[in-house]
Structure 1
């Protein structure tokens, strides 16, 4: 609790890419001392961030599930997406605001780093001006993946491009063709489009496919060798390592 305002503190806790041992000491300390734990999850799923943090929560922790309105991927171009997601984050923020105003600290679990494509950001945007906030950095998913793959991603003065797989194919192709090194996130059902863009950009042979990096069931292979008919889960990422060889 914040002694001056008598309101609780909102903690955005980065829990890392999947392996609980890649969580920071600070994150572990806060999770072990905060009673109210909030986390995002799809309906019927345990929530990946909650799974990562499972062994670190207090025995008397109260858990607040924040369930996404969609259970399957939906196109960002679908008008329902932004309307429903905005309403969802508004509602989630108000749930937390009630607890914070009552003087309770709340720790929100976030995979990877909270400020790097993390769902926590949308709560932060809505609450940071109203309540004390502390954010704990986490190892990003992409960092965990390139380390698991044994693939140095940037050398010397390489420029790293981080691209969402939701981009139009032409834009992906252009950005990949110009990249020294690249990470493509938000893969899922976008993989066929990403693969075509990599091929058109002359980068397919360098690309690595990493599935569930640092987690149980981790899978790493050259994208060019991957069966195009194979199912691609949500937790997949494409790496295009930068310059290779001696400097």
Structure 2
């Protein structure tokens, strides 16, 4: 009997995949990955050139992405059925062989694999290999220390109502704002209201060849790719150490 192994791929640069994930991916006979219909899939692109000859690939294509509101009953039903079906298929493969599931970033940090993980409990042996989170890759790409001393780091979803975003922004030091995309105008407005817009950076496709880093106040917020994160560095409440403040 095989098992299902989810490998965290890190933020996008193949060189940032862990040694363990790299070894498992190259030796895999069965590989599954998420993608939008009609797209190659970011996870699959990261491992381009790594897969063995003859590997069996399972492209798990989302039935919906942004076509309907993410909190609508129709959206939730479609995604639930999608995860149910793929949990069944992967569990069946695992009855005779190992199957590797590719996941950008870290699988347990807002990763799609979490929805499969809950459905596979008691049905197959599951192993998760940690990965560098996308936000870690992005704040290192900016090249400035992100948190100091007693700074409080908040990770916010841009899908939250603007009033909720403002409340969190006003009481946080360092911030990571994910799921931006078409929510970016709302994020910018909330940051401006909270007095933090001038501290905000937009990192698109962090660590990838097409990476772009810019001040959020200077970009067109109507043109934002899916792989984009807004970063707000900590306030710098750091103790004096070695004569440096």
TM superposition score category, shorter chain reference: over 0.9
- Does the residue aligned with 2:115 lie in a helix, a strand or coil? helix
Q: Are the aligned partners of 1:43 and 1:71 in contact in 2 as well (CA < 8 Å)?
A: no
Seen in structure 2, the aligned counterparts of structure 1 residues 236 and 209 have a Cα distance that, compared at 3 Å, is same
Shift of 1:201: 0.8
Alignment partner, residue 85 of structure 2: 91
Shift of 1:87: 0.6
Once the two structures are overlaid, the 10-residue window that deviates more, 201-210 or 128-137, is: 128-137
Alignment equivalent of 2:4, drawn from 4, 7, 10: 10
Shift of 1:71: 4.9
Alignment partner, residue 137 of structure 2: 144
TM-score, L = length of structure 2: 0.94
Shift of 1:108: 0.2
Deviations 1:186-243 (A, max 9, x none): 00000000001101111101000001111121110110111344x1110110000103
Distance 1:65 1:169 in 2: 35
Seen in structure 2, the aligned counterparts of structure 1 residues 82 and 142 have a Cα distance that, compared at 3 Å, is same
Alignment partner, residue 216 of structure 1: 209
Alignment partner, residue 232 of structure 2: 240
Alignment equivalent of 1:49, drawn from 27, 36, 43: 43
Once the two structures are overlaid, the 10-residue window that deviates more, 201-210 or 236-245, is: 236-245
Distance 2:170 2:68 in 1: 28
Distance 2:67 2:197 in 1: 25
Distance 2:144 2:156 in 1: 18
TM-score, L = length of structure 1: 0.93
Alignment partner, residue 109 of structure 1: 102
- Does the residue aligned with 1:129 lie in a helix, a strand or coil? coil
Shift of 1:57: 1.2
- Does the residue aligned with 2:49 lie in a helix, a strand or coil? helix
After the TM superposition, list the runs of 4 or more consecutive aligned residues in structure 1 that deviate by more than 6 angstroms.
Answer: none
Once the two structures are overlaid, the 10-residue window that deviates more, 236-245 or 133-142, is: 236-245
Alignment partner, residue 25 of structure 1: 19
Alignment partner, residue 153 of structure 1: 146
- Does the residue aligned with 1:56 lie in a helix, a strand or coil? coil
Root-mean-square deviation (Å): 1.3
Seen in structure 2, the aligned counterparts of structure 1 residues 73 and 196 have a Cα distance that, compared at 3 Å, is farther
Deviations 1:78-126 (A, max 9, x none): 221111100100011111011112x210100000000001111111111
| Structure 1 residue runs without a partner (length 5+) | 1-6
